[in-house]
Amino acid sequence: MAGGGGGTEELNLVPYLDIMVNLIMFLITITAYIAEMRESPVLAPGGGQCKVQPCPTPKPHLTVAIDKAGFSIIGSADTINPTRLVLNAQGFPYDDLQSRLGEYKESIKDIEENIVITADSDIPYKTIMATMDAARADKKGKRLFPGVTFSRVVGQH
Amino acid sequence: MSAEPVENPENESNEDDDFLLMRRRRHGAANLIEGLNLTAMMDMMTIILVFLIKQYASAPENIQMSEVMRPPKSTVEEAVQPTVNIFITQKQILVDDKEVLKVAGGKIVSDKPANEALVPLNEALQKQVNRINALHDRGGPEFDGALMVVADQETPYELLYTILQSASRAQFNEYRMIVVANGK
């Protein structure tokens, strides 16, 4: 056909390729800005109970109670002295809690590494998680109480 | 005595160049590479792009954060393992991305009596347990009792505990609390 110019011309792939390269670069670089997620294990209430009979003698364990005024550390045995840590200028005294838990770990032989955490109804989850962080290991990375079981005070609503 | 013309090597060289130039002009178009064939490169790019998009979409740690869903920060270092998940935002509770309950002011909103308010949550969790058990009967992995809990950092302890207690009744006895890595 005269003047039709109807030859089969190839598509210009260069703009498409540009888009692809930009998208790939974007996806690769965005990983640096995506929040990295981790998981912190928690056992169900009663999860630490034995499943074999006869049950071995339970080890002494600690309970950390959180309320608006601070922390209370209570032991399962009478020989464990309770501790009360009140709020300081920065808020909850996580450093004090950590060092106190370290002292318990050092002083009580065969103490259970699983602690029980209980809190007032309106204590936010971030405070619970910060408490778990403080209990997990000390500043030098020494293992303290990595296991956690949540509990609730009887009668609490 | 006739003097033969002395051959000039320079002239000979010029003639050769002209000949080659003419030949290139006449036949060169067919021999030159007109452009790169980009189709193969485009295929490769498309495959990489699809791979990256699929990878990000299926990653268990790919959690969409918003104003009503900001998990707390933590120094814990354990990587996220995929399992049944429950999301506790400031407005709703979702089990495997399906809304089961509404939340307002840190409390469950329901028009049912207090002892029945958690029934939709229990049913949704039990359904997940039954699904995993059914898959196990067909050769899938065994139900390990693990539940991935993604909760907003402002969730009150009362709500969190109530939900975990409910999950405990549905045979979930190990909770993987999802947090934002804070580093040390």
Q: What CATH number is attached to the domain comprising B113?
A: 3.30.420
By C-alpha distance, the chain A residue nearest B72 is: A126
- Domain membership of residue B137 (yes or no) is yes
Residues of A with CB under 8 A from a CB of B: 13-14, 16-17, 20-21, 23-24, 27-28, 34-47, 66, 119-126, 128-130, 132-133, 136, 150, 152, 156-157
- Domain membership of residue B48 (yes or no) is no
* Predicted local distance difference test score (pLDDT) of residue A1: 43
All structural domains of chain A with their residue ranges:
62-151
- Domain membership of residue B126 (yes or no) is yes
- Domain membership of residue B168 (yes or no) is yes
Mean pLDDT of chain A: 83
Q: Is the pLDDT of residue A92 over 80?
A: yes
- Percent over 90 (pLDDT), chain B: 38
- Domain membership of residue B151 (yes or no) is yes
pLDDT band at B21 (very low <50, low <70, confident <90, very high): low
CATH class belonging to A62-151: alpha beta
> Is this complex scored with an ipTM above 0.95?
no
Count up the domains in chain B and report the number.
Answer: 1
Q: Using CB atoms, which residue from A27, A47, A126 is nearest to B52?
A: A27
Note down the domain range covering B107.
Answer: 73-181
Cα separation, B149 vs B179, in Å, equals 9
- Domain membership of residue B19 (yes or no) is no
* Predicted local distance difference test score (pLDDT) of residue A7: 60
Could you tell me the CA-to-CA distances from A55 to A49, A51, A59, B91, B134 in Å, in that order? 9, 8, 11, 43, 33
Backbone angles phi, psi at B5, to 5 degrees: -65, 135
- Domain membership of residue B125 (yes or no) is yes
* Predicted local distance difference test score (pLDDT) of residue B3: 46
- Domain membership of residue B53 (yes or no) is no
> Strand B92-95 vs strand B98-104: parallel, antiparallel, or unpaired?
antiparallel
CB contact under 8 A, A40 and B148: no
Residue-wise pLDDT tens digits, B154-183 = 999 999 999 998 899 888 989 999 999 875
Average pLDDT over residues A52-60: 73
